[in-house]
Structure 1
Amino acid sequence: MERFTDIVKDLQTKLHYAWRNPELLRLALVHSSFTYENRGREEQNNERLEFLGDAVLELVISDYYYNQLPHKSEGELTKMRALTVCEPSLATVARRLELGRYIFMGRGEERSGGRERPALLADAFEALLGSVYLDAGFEEARRVALQQLADIIEEVKSGHTVRDYKTDLQEMLQRKSADPIQYSIIDEEGPDHDKIFTAAVDYQGKRMGWGRGRTKKEAEQQAAKMALINYAPKIL
Protein backbone atom coordinates (compact mmCIF):
# COMPACT_ATOMS: atom_id res chain seq x y z
CA MET A 1 0.00 0.00 0.00
CA GLU A 2 1.37 3.38 -0.93
CA ARG A 3 1.78 6.15 1.59
CA PHE A 4 -1.28 8.34 1.82
CA THR A 5 0.72 11.46 0.95
CA ASP A 6 1.72 9.78 -2.32
CA ILE A 7 -1.88 8.78 -3.00
CA VAL A 8 -3.02 12.38 -2.50
CA LYS A 9 -0.33 13.64 -4.87
CA ASP A 10 -1.19 11.06 -7.56
CA LEU A 11 -4.93 11.69 -7.48
CA GLN A 12 -4.54 15.45 -7.37
CA THR A 13 -2.47 15.22 -10.53
CA LYS A 14 -4.92 12.90 -12.28
CA LEU A 15 -8.01 14.91 -11.35
CA HIS A 16 -6.42 18.37 -11.58
CA TYR A 17 -7.90 19.04 -8.16
CA ALA A 18 -6.27 19.70 -4.77
CA TRP A 19 -8.27 18.76 -1.70
CA ARG A 20 -8.50 21.44 0.97
CA ASN A 21 -9.29 18.69 3.44
CA PRO A 22 -7.35 15.54 2.42
CA GLU A 23 -9.18 13.55 5.09
CA LEU A 24 -12.23 13.61 2.83
CA LEU A 25 -10.17 11.91 0.15
CA ARG A 26 -8.93 9.34 2.64
CA LEU A 27 -12.49 8.56 3.71
CA ALA A 28 -13.52 8.11 0.08
CA LEU A 29 -10.90 5.36 -0.22
CA VAL A 30 -11.84 3.34 2.90
CA HIS A 31 -13.80 0.22 1.97
CA SER A 32 -16.14 -1.38 4.51
CA SER A 33 -13.96 -4.52 4.64
CA PHE A 34 -11.14 -2.40 6.08
CA THR A 35 -13.33 -1.11 8.90
CA TYR A 36 -14.62 -4.64 9.51
CA GLU A 37 -11.09 -5.98 10.02
CA ASN A 38 -10.10 -2.98 12.16
CA ARG A 39 -13.04 -2.93 14.54
CA GLY A 40 -10.80 -2.00 17.44
CA ARG A 41 -10.23 1.42 15.86
CA GLU A 42 -12.67 4.23 15.29
CA GLU A 43 -12.85 4.11 11.53
CA GLN A 44 -15.52 5.16 9.06
CA ASN A 45 -15.88 3.85 5.53
CA ASN A 46 -16.84 5.39 2.20
CA GLU A 47 -20.45 4.23 1.99
CA ARG A 48 -21.99 7.59 2.98
CA LEU A 49 -19.75 9.43 0.53
CA GLU A 50 -20.74 6.92 -2.16
CA PHE A 51 -24.41 7.70 -1.45
CA LEU A 52 -23.72 11.42 -1.83
CA GLY A 53 -21.52 11.05 -4.90
CA ASP A 54 -24.16 8.90 -6.62
CA ALA A 55 -26.72 11.71 -6.24
CA VAL A 56 -24.27 14.38 -7.39
CA LEU A 57 -23.29 12.33 -10.43
CA GLU A 58 -26.89 11.71 -11.45
CA LEU A 59 -27.64 15.44 -11.30
CA VAL A 60 -24.48 16.36 -13.22
CA ILE A 61 -25.22 13.93 -16.04
CA SER A 62 -28.94 14.77 -16.14
CA ASP A 63 -28.15 18.49 -16.39
CA TYR A 64 -25.51 17.91 -19.06
CA TYR A 65 -27.71 15.82 -21.37
CA TYR A 66 -30.76 18.03 -20.81
CA ASN A 67 -28.88 21.14 -21.92
CA GLN A 68 -26.70 19.58 -24.61
CA LEU A 69 -29.37 17.49 -26.34
CA PRO A 70 -32.59 19.55 -26.50
CA HIS A 71 -33.99 17.34 -29.27
CA LYS A 72 -33.92 14.15 -27.16
CA SER A 73 -37.06 12.86 -25.44
CA GLU A 74 -37.33 12.11 -21.73
CA GLY A 75 -37.05 8.38 -22.43
CA GLU A 76 -33.93 8.81 -24.55
CA LEU A 77 -32.28 11.04 -21.93
CA THR A 78 -33.10 8.54 -19.20
CA LYS A 79 -31.44 5.71 -21.11
CA MET A 80 -28.37 7.80 -21.91
CA ARG A 81 -27.98 8.77 -18.28
CA ALA A 82 -28.32 5.15 -17.15
CA LEU A 83 -25.62 4.05 -19.60
CA THR A 84 -23.29 6.82 -18.46
CA VAL A 85 -23.54 6.21 -14.72
CA CYS A 86 -23.86 2.41 -14.80
CA GLU A 87 -21.40 0.24 -12.94
CA PRO A 88 -19.28 -0.83 -15.97
CA SER A 89 -18.83 2.81 -17.04
CA LEU A 90 -17.81 4.02 -13.59
CA ALA A 91 -15.51 1.02 -13.10
CA THR A 92 -13.77 1.93 -16.37
CA VAL A 93 -13.11 5.44 -15.05
CA ALA A 94 -11.91 4.06 -11.71
CA ARG A 95 -9.45 1.74 -13.46
CA ARG A 96 -8.08 4.63 -15.49
CA LEU A 97 -7.51 6.52 -12.23
CA GLU A 98 -5.97 3.35 -10.73
CA LEU A 99 -8.28 3.60 -7.73
CA GLY A 100 -7.81 -0.10 -7.07
CA ARG A 101 -4.22 0.64 -6.02
CA TYR A 102 -5.28 3.25 -3.50
CA ILE A 103 -8.28 1.75 -1.71
CA PHE A 104 -7.90 0.76 1.93
CA MET A 105 -9.50 -2.68 2.12
CA GLY A 106 -9.41 -5.77 4.29
CA ARG A 107 -7.00 -8.60 3.58
CA GLY A 108 -9.83 -11.00 2.75
CA GLU A 109 -11.34 -8.61 0.22
CA GLU A 110 -7.95 -8.04 -1.37
CA ARG A 111 -7.22 -11.77 -1.63
CA SER A 112 -10.56 -12.34 -3.36
CA GLY A 113 -9.73 -9.80 -6.08
CA GLY A 114 -11.35 -6.72 -4.58
CA ARG A 115 -8.93 -4.31 -6.21
CA GLU A 116 -10.30 -5.31 -9.62
CA ARG A 117 -13.97 -5.82 -8.69
CA PRO A 118 -16.16 -3.56 -10.86
CA ALA A 119 -18.76 -2.85 -8.16
CA LEU A 120 -16.10 -1.85 -5.63
CA LEU A 121 -14.31 0.37 -8.14
CA ALA A 122 -17.52 2.08 -9.27
CA ASP A 123 -18.50 2.75 -5.66
CA ALA A 124 -15.06 4.21 -4.95
CA PHE A 125 -15.38 6.64 -7.85
CA GLU A 126 -18.78 7.80 -6.58
CA ALA A 127 -17.29 8.26 -3.11
CA LEU A 128 -14.39 10.19 -4.61
CA LEU A 129 -16.83 12.52 -6.34
CA GLY A 130 -18.74 12.91 -3.09
CA SER A 131 -15.54 13.98 -1.36
CA VAL A 132 -14.90 16.66 -4.02
CA TYR A 133 -18.46 17.92 -3.61
CA LEU A 134 -18.07 18.28 0.16
CA ASP A 135 -14.62 19.81 -0.22
CA ALA A 136 -15.37 22.40 -2.90
CA GLY A 137 -19.05 22.37 -3.89
CA PHE A 138 -21.15 21.35 -6.86
CA GLU A 139 -19.38 23.21 -9.67
CA GLU A 140 -16.03 21.62 -8.93
CA ALA A 141 -17.62 18.19 -8.57
CA ARG A 142 -19.35 18.80 -11.90
CA ARG A 143 -16.05 19.70 -13.58
CA VAL A 144 -14.34 16.57 -12.26
CA ALA A 145 -17.24 14.30 -13.23
CA LEU A 146 -17.54 15.62 -16.78
CA GLN A 147 -13.78 15.58 -17.27
CA GLN A 148 -13.44 11.97 -16.15
CA LEU A 149 -16.53 10.73 -17.99
CA ALA A 150 -15.91 12.69 -21.21
CA ASP A 151 -15.02 9.66 -23.36
CA ILE A 152 -17.92 7.61 -22.00
CA ILE A 153 -20.34 10.48 -22.63
CA GLU A 154 -19.14 10.64 -26.24
CA GLU A 155 -19.61 6.88 -26.59
CA VAL A 156 -23.14 7.13 -25.22
CA LYS A 157 -23.96 9.99 -27.58
CA SER A 158 -22.64 7.99 -30.52
CA GLY A 159 -24.50 4.82 -29.50
CA HIS A 160 -21.42 2.69 -28.65
CA THR A 161 -21.99 1.62 -25.05
CA VAL A 162 -22.13 -1.24 -22.57
CA ARG A 163 -25.50 -2.92 -22.11
CA ASP A 164 -27.98 -1.67 -19.52
CA TYR A 165 -30.27 -4.67 -19.13
CA LYS A 166 -32.77 -2.91 -16.86
CA THR A 167 -33.42 -0.23 -19.46
CA ASP A 168 -33.65 -2.81 -22.26
CA LEU A 169 -36.18 -4.82 -20.27
CA GLN A 170 -38.22 -1.73 -19.44
CA GLU A 171 -38.38 -0.68 -23.09
CA MET A 172 -39.42 -4.17 -24.19
CA LEU A 173 -42.20 -4.49 -21.61
CA GLN A 174 -43.54 -0.98 -21.94
CA ARG A 175 -44.25 -1.57 -25.60
CA LYS A 176 -46.95 -3.95 -24.30
CA SER A 177 -48.15 -2.19 -21.15
CA ALA A 178 -47.33 0.66 -18.79
CA ASP A 179 -47.62 -1.65 -15.77
CA PRO A 180 -44.71 -1.17 -13.38
CA ILE A 181 -41.68 -3.44 -13.27
CA GLN A 182 -40.78 -4.36 -9.70
CA TYR A 183 -37.30 -5.25 -8.46
CA SER A 184 -36.78 -6.67 -4.99
CA ILE A 185 -33.88 -8.04 -2.99
CA ILE A 186 -34.97 -11.53 -1.96
CA ASP A 187 -31.81 -12.74 -0.23
CA GLU A 188 -28.54 -11.52 1.29
CA GLU A 189 -25.60 -13.77 2.15
CA GLY A 190 -22.29 -13.15 3.88
CA PRO A 191 -20.90 -10.57 6.33
CA ASP A 192 -21.60 -6.86 5.93
CA HIS A 193 -18.29 -6.18 4.17
CA ASP A 194 -18.68 -9.05 1.68
CA LYS A 195 -22.37 -9.55 0.92
CA ILE A 196 -23.92 -11.35 -2.03
CA PHE A 197 -27.37 -10.04 -2.97
CA THR A 198 -30.06 -11.91 -4.86
CA ALA A 199 -32.59 -9.78 -6.74
CA ALA A 200 -35.83 -10.73 -8.47
CA VAL A 201 -37.80 -8.89 -11.15
CA ASP A 202 -41.59 -9.19 -11.34
CA TYR A 203 -44.06 -7.92 -13.92
CA GLN A 204 -47.83 -8.23 -13.91
CA GLY A 205 -47.65 -10.62 -10.98
CA LYS A 206 -45.18 -12.94 -12.69
CA ARG A 207 -41.55 -13.56 -11.73
CA MET A 208 -39.51 -12.92 -14.85
CA GLY A 209 -35.99 -13.51 -13.60
CA TRP A 210 -33.52 -13.34 -10.77
CA GLY A 211 -29.82 -12.58 -10.43
CA ARG A 212 -26.97 -12.36 -7.95
CA GLY A 213 -24.29 -9.72 -7.40
CA ARG A 214 -22.05 -8.02 -4.88
CA THR A 215 -24.23 -4.92 -4.96
CA LYS A 216 -27.99 -4.50 -5.21
CA LYS A 217 -27.55 -2.71 -8.55
CA GLU A 218 -25.48 -5.56 -9.97
CA ALA A 219 -28.03 -8.15 -8.77
CA GLU A 220 -30.87 -6.20 -10.37
CA GLN A 221 -28.98 -5.95 -13.68
CA GLN A 222 -28.44 -9.72 -13.64
CA ALA A 223 -32.13 -10.30 -12.88
CA ALA A 224 -33.08 -8.10 -15.84
CA LYS A 225 -30.61 -9.98 -18.04
CA MET A 226 -32.18 -13.32 -17.08
CA ALA A 227 -35.65 -11.92 -17.84
CA LEU A 228 -34.47 -10.87 -21.30
CA ILE A 229 -32.88 -14.27 -21.92
CA ASN A 230 -36.10 -16.01 -20.85
CA TYR A 231 -38.55 -13.84 -22.75
CA ALA A 232 -36.67 -12.04 -25.53
CA PRO A 233 -33.44 -13.91 -26.31
CA LYS A 234 -33.21 -12.46 -29.82
CA ILE A 235 -32.43 -8.93 -28.51
CA LEU A 236 -29.36 -10.06 -26.54
Structure 2
Amino acid sequence: MESLGVHIDPGTLRLALTHRSFAYENDGIPTNERLEFLGDAVLGLAVTDYLYRTYPDLPEGDLAKLRAALVSTRALARIARRLEVGQHIRLGEGEIRTGGAEKDSILADTMEALIGAAYLSTNIDTARNLVLRLVTPLLEDKEAMTAGKDWKTTIQEIAAARGLGDVKYTVTDSGPDHRKSFTAVLTISGTAYGTGTGPSKKEAEREAARETVEQLTTTDGEADILTLVLGRATQ
Protein backbone atom coordinates (compact mmCIF):
# COMPACT_ATOMS: atom_id res chain seq x y z
CA MET A 1 0.00 0.00 0.00
CA GLU A 2 2.54 2.59 -1.13
CA SER A 3 -0.33 5.01 -1.80
CA LEU A 4 -0.67 5.57 1.95
CA GLY A 5 2.80 7.06 2.13
CA VAL A 6 3.45 5.38 5.49
CA HIS A 7 5.46 2.23 6.21
CA ILE A 8 3.33 -0.47 7.79
CA ASP A 9 4.73 -3.74 9.06
CA PRO A 10 3.92 -6.41 6.40
CA GLY A 11 2.14 -8.69 8.85
CA THR A 12 0.07 -5.85 10.27
CA LEU A 13 -0.77 -4.65 6.77
CA ARG A 14 -1.94 -8.12 5.77
CA LEU A 15 -4.15 -8.23 8.84
CA ALA A 16 -5.59 -4.78 8.08
CA LEU A 17 -6.64 -6.03 4.65
CA THR A 18 -8.23 -9.27 5.90
CA HIS A 19 -12.01 -9.06 5.86
CA ARG A 20 -13.99 -11.42 8.07
CA SER A 21 -15.46 -13.16 5.02
CA PHE A 22 -11.96 -14.27 4.02
CA ALA A 23 -11.16 -15.37 7.56
CA TYR A 24 -14.29 -17.52 7.79
CA GLU A 25 -13.28 -19.38 4.65
CA ASN A 26 -9.71 -19.87 5.86
CA ASP A 27 -9.96 -21.67 9.18
CA GLY A 28 -10.98 -18.61 11.16
CA ILE A 29 -7.72 -16.68 10.89
CA PRO A 30 -7.64 -13.23 12.57
CA THR A 31 -9.60 -10.43 10.86
CA ASN A 32 -9.07 -6.67 10.63
CA GLU A 33 -11.88 -5.88 13.08
CA ARG A 34 -9.62 -5.15 16.07
CA LEU A 35 -7.49 -2.85 13.92
CA GLU A 36 -10.68 -1.21 12.68
CA PHE A 37 -11.65 -0.53 16.31
CA LEU A 38 -8.27 1.05 16.99
CA GLY A 39 -8.21 3.04 13.76
CA ASP A 40 -11.65 4.47 14.46
CA ALA A 41 -10.32 5.95 17.71
CA VAL A 42 -7.21 7.40 16.05
CA LEU A 43 -9.34 8.84 13.23
CA GLY A 44 -11.80 10.40 15.64
CA LEU A 45 -9.12 12.00 17.80
CA ALA A 46 -7.15 13.38 14.83
CA VAL A 47 -10.20 14.89 13.14
CA THR A 48 -11.69 16.27 16.37
CA ASP A 49 -8.39 17.92 17.34
CA TYR A 50 -7.98 19.40 13.86
CA LEU A 51 -11.49 20.86 13.75
CA TYR A 52 -11.22 22.23 17.30
CA ARG A 53 -8.03 24.10 16.45
CA THR A 54 -8.98 25.16 12.91
CA TYR A 55 -12.45 26.56 13.68
CA PRO A 56 -12.15 28.23 17.13
CA ASP A 57 -15.40 30.13 16.72
CA LEU A 58 -17.65 27.18 15.91
CA PRO A 59 -19.92 25.81 18.65
CA GLU A 60 -19.86 22.15 19.61
CA GLY A 61 -22.91 21.29 17.51
CA ASP A 62 -21.36 22.59 14.28
CA LEU A 63 -18.04 20.92 15.02
CA ALA A 64 -19.93 17.65 15.50
CA LYS A 65 -21.60 18.03 12.11
CA LEU A 66 -18.28 18.60 10.39
CA ARG A 67 -16.69 15.64 12.14
CA ALA A 68 -19.59 13.38 11.23
CA ALA A 69 -19.21 14.34 7.56
CA LEU A 70 -15.45 13.77 7.55
CA VAL A 71 -15.49 10.36 9.24
CA SER A 72 -18.67 9.03 7.63
CA THR A 73 -18.76 5.71 5.82
CA ARG A 74 -19.22 7.47 2.48
CA ALA A 75 -16.29 9.82 3.09
CA LEU A 76 -13.94 6.99 4.08
CA ALA A 77 -15.08 4.87 1.14
CA ARG A 78 -14.37 7.81 -1.15
CA ILE A 79 -10.82 7.99 0.19
CA ALA A 80 -10.39 4.23 -0.20
CA ARG A 81 -11.46 4.38 -3.85
CA ARG A 82 -9.01 7.17 -4.55
CA LEU A 83 -6.23 5.06 -3.06
CA GLU A 84 -7.48 1.93 -4.90
CA VAL A 85 -7.70 0.03 -1.63
CA GLY A 86 -10.46 -2.29 -2.86
CA GLN A 87 -8.21 -4.38 -5.06
CA HIS A 88 -5.98 -5.24 -2.09
CA ILE A 89 -8.68 -6.37 0.38
CA ARG A 90 -8.72 -10.10 1.11
CA LEU A 91 -12.34 -11.14 0.69
CA GLY A 92 -14.25 -14.41 0.81
CA GLU A 93 -15.67 -15.87 -2.40
CA GLY A 94 -19.17 -14.73 -1.55
CA GLU A 95 -18.13 -11.11 -1.12
CA ILE A 96 -16.05 -11.24 -4.29
CA ARG A 97 -19.08 -12.42 -6.27
CA THR A 98 -21.26 -9.62 -4.89
CA GLY A 99 -18.72 -6.85 -5.50
CA GLY A 100 -17.51 -6.54 -1.92
CA ALA A 101 -14.41 -4.61 -2.96
CA GLU A 102 -16.68 -1.73 -4.02
CA LYS A 103 -19.05 -1.73 -1.05
CA ASP A 104 -18.89 1.48 0.98
CA SER A 105 -19.05 -0.36 4.30
CA ILE A 106 -16.15 -2.70 3.52
CA LEU A 107 -14.00 0.08 2.08
CA ALA A 108 -14.64 2.36 5.05
CA ASP A 109 -13.94 -0.37 7.60
CA THR A 110 -10.71 -1.26 5.80
CA MET A 111 -9.58 2.38 5.84
CA GLU A 112 -10.07 2.47 9.61
CA ALA A 113 -8.09 -0.78 9.92
CA LEU A 114 -5.27 0.70 7.83
CA ILE A 115 -5.18 3.77 10.06
CA GLY A 116 -4.97 1.48 13.08
CA ALA A 117 -2.18 -0.47 11.39
CA ALA A 118 -0.29 2.74 10.63
CA TYR A 119 -0.54 3.76 14.28
CA LEU A 120 0.79 0.40 15.50
CA SER A 121 3.64 0.40 12.98
CA THR A 122 4.73 3.99 13.61
CA ASN A 123 3.45 6.38 16.28
CA ILE A 124 0.52 8.64 17.05
CA ASP A 125 1.99 11.69 15.29
CA THR A 126 2.62 9.79 12.05
CA ALA A 127 -0.85 8.25 12.18
CA ARG A 128 -2.40 11.65 12.88
CA ASN A 129 -0.58 13.22 9.94
CA LEU A 130 -1.78 10.37 7.72
CA VAL A 131 -5.38 10.95 8.77
CA LEU A 132 -5.18 14.68 8.13
CA ARG A 133 -3.50 14.19 4.77
CA LEU A 134 -6.31 11.86 3.70
CA VAL A 135 -9.30 13.55 5.30
CA THR A 136 -8.86 17.34 5.29
CA PRO A 137 -9.02 17.67 1.46
CA LEU A 138 -12.66 16.60 1.79
CA LEU A 139 -13.40 20.00 3.33
CA GLU A 140 -13.03 21.46 -0.17
CA ASP A 141 -15.19 18.76 -1.78
CA LYS A 142 -18.86 19.70 -1.61
CA GLU A 143 -20.07 16.39 -2.98
CA ALA A 144 -18.10 14.42 -0.40
CA MET A 145 -19.12 16.60 2.53
CA THR A 146 -22.83 16.52 1.79
CA ALA A 147 -23.15 13.01 0.32
CA GLY A 148 -24.77 11.54 3.41
CA LYS A 149 -26.90 14.50 4.41
CA ASP A 150 -30.63 13.88 4.82
CA TRP A 151 -31.85 16.77 2.68
CA LYS A 152 -35.50 15.67 2.72
CA THR A 153 -35.65 15.83 6.51
CA THR A 154 -33.78 19.13 6.50
CA ILE A 155 -36.25 20.83 4.18
CA GLN A 156 -39.17 19.51 6.22
CA GLU A 157 -37.61 21.04 9.33
CA ILE A 158 -36.98 24.38 7.61
CA ALA A 159 -40.51 24.55 6.22
CA ALA A 160 -42.02 23.71 9.61
CA ALA A 161 -39.82 26.19 11.51
CA ARG A 162 -40.74 29.02 9.12
CA GLY A 163 -44.40 28.09 8.80
CA LEU A 164 -44.11 27.76 5.01
CA GLY A 165 -46.64 24.97 4.61
CA ASP A 166 -46.63 21.44 3.22
CA VAL A 167 -43.68 20.06 1.28
CA LYS A 168 -44.61 17.96 -1.74
CA TYR A 169 -42.79 16.30 -4.64
CA THR A 170 -44.00 15.88 -8.21
CA VAL A 171 -42.05 13.15 -9.96
CA THR A 172 -41.96 12.28 -13.66
CA ASP A 173 -39.90 9.66 -15.46
CA SER A 174 -38.52 9.14 -18.94
CA GLY A 175 -36.51 6.59 -20.87
CA PRO A 176 -36.80 2.82 -21.31
CA ASP A 177 -37.70 0.61 -18.35
CA HIS A 178 -34.14 -0.61 -17.86
CA ARG A 179 -32.66 2.91 -17.92
CA LYS A 180 -35.29 5.24 -16.54
CA SER A 181 -34.44 8.76 -15.45
CA PHE A 182 -36.55 10.55 -12.84
CA THR A 183 -37.16 14.27 -12.37
CA ALA A 184 -38.64 15.67 -9.15
CA VAL A 185 -39.94 19.17 -8.50
CA LEU A 186 -40.33 20.21 -4.88
CA THR A 187 -43.18 22.55 -4.00
CA ILE A 188 -44.07 24.22 -0.71
CA SER A 189 -47.67 25.35 -0.45
CA GLY A 190 -47.91 25.14 -4.23
CA THR A 191 -44.79 27.22 -4.93
CA ALA A 192 -42.09 25.41 -6.91
CA TYR A 193 -38.55 25.47 -5.57
CA GLY A 194 -35.80 22.95 -6.32
CA THR A 195 -35.67 20.44 -9.17
CA GLY A 196 -33.65 17.24 -9.07
CA THR A 197 -32.90 14.35 -11.40
CA GLY A 198 -31.58 10.86 -10.74
CA PRO A 199 -31.75 7.16 -11.62
CA SER A 200 -34.46 6.60 -9.01
CA LYS A 201 -37.41 8.49 -7.58
CA LYS A 202 -35.64 8.67 -4.22
CA GLU A 203 -32.48 10.21 -5.68
CA ALA A 204 -34.45 12.74 -7.70
CA GLU A 205 -36.41 13.85 -4.64
CA ARG A 206 -33.21 14.06 -2.59
CA GLU A 207 -31.60 16.34 -5.18
CA ALA A 208 -34.71 18.53 -5.34
CA ALA A 209 -34.63 18.83 -1.54
CA ARG A 210 -30.92 19.68 -1.56
CA GLU A 211 -31.42 22.44 -4.12
CA THR A 212 -34.34 23.84 -2.15
CA VAL A 213 -32.36 23.88 1.11
CA GLU A 214 -29.57 25.80 -0.60
CA GLN A 215 -32.05 28.28 -2.10
CA LEU A 216 -33.77 29.00 1.20
CA THR A 217 -30.72 29.10 3.47
CA THR A 218 -28.40 31.03 1.18
CA THR A 219 -30.88 33.83 0.49
CA ASP A 220 -31.59 34.27 4.21
CA GLY A 221 -27.98 34.11 5.31
CA GLU A 222 -28.58 30.87 7.22
CA ALA A 223 -26.43 28.50 5.20
CA ASP A 224 -25.80 25.05 6.60
CA ILE A 225 -22.46 24.73 8.43
CA LEU A 226 -21.09 22.41 5.74
CA THR A 227 -21.84 25.00 3.07
CA LEU A 228 -20.24 27.75 5.13
CA VAL A 229 -17.01 25.86 5.71
CA LEU A 230 -16.81 24.81 2.07
CA GLY A 231 -17.24 28.43 1.07
CA ARG A 232 -14.38 29.53 3.32
CA ALA A 233 -12.13 26.77 2.04
CA THR A 234 -12.54 27.82 -1.59
CA GLN A 235 -12.11 31.57 -1.08
TM-score over 0.5 for the pair = yes
Alignment of 1:128-139 (within 5 A): 128-139=114-125
Aligned counterparts of 1:69 and 1:121: Cα–Cα separation in 2: 29
The secondary structure found in structure 2 opposite 1:30 is coil
Aligned counterparts of 1:155 and 1:72: Cα–Cα separation in 2: 20
- Residues 37-61 of structure 1 deviation map (CA, whole Å, 9 limit, x = unaligned): 112xx61000111111111101100
Q: Does 1:32 align with 2:17?
A: no
The structure 1 segments of at least 4 consecutive aligned residues displaced by more than 4 Å after TM superposition are: 232-236
Aligned to 1:91: 77
Where in structure 2 are there 5+ consecutive unaligned residues? 162-201, 215-235
Equivalent pairs, count:
166
Aligned counterparts of 2:35 and 2:150: Cα–Cα separation in 1: 26
The secondary structure found in structure 2 opposite 1:18 is coil
Change (3 A) 1:44 1:130: same
Question: Could you state the TM-score of these two structures normalised by the residue count of structure 1?
Answer: 0.62
Aligned to 2:171: none
Q: Percent identity?
A: 42
Contact 1:86 1:164 in 2 (8 A): no
Computing the radius of gyration from Cα coordinates, the structure with the larger value is: 2
Q: Does 1:123 align with 2:112?
A: no
Aligned counterparts of 1:90 and 1:33: Cα–Cα separation in 2: 20
How far the C-alpha of 1:16 sits from its partner, in A, is: 1.7
Identify which of 46, 53, 56 aligns with 1:60. Answer: 46
How far the C-alpha of 1:159 sits from its partner, in A, is: 9.7
Change (3 A) 1:83 1:160: closer
Which residue identity is paired with 2:61?
G
Aligned counterparts of 1:108 and 1:124: Cα–Cα separation in 2: 18
Aligned to 1:145: 131
Which residue identity is paired with 1:79?
K
Aligned counterparts of 1:235 and 1:36: Cα–Cα separation in 2: 46
Where in structure 1 are there 5+ consecutive unaligned residues? 1-10, 177-224
Aligned counterparts of 1:54 and 1:235: Cα–Cα separation in 2: 31
Question: Could you state the TM-score of these two structures normalised by the residue count of structure 2?
Answer: 0.63
- Residues 102-151 of structure 1 deviation map (CA, whole Å, 9 limit, x = unaligned): 00010111001101001000000000000011111211111111111232
Aligned to 1:45: 31
Aligned counterparts of 1:51 and 1:141: Cα–Cα separation in 2: 15
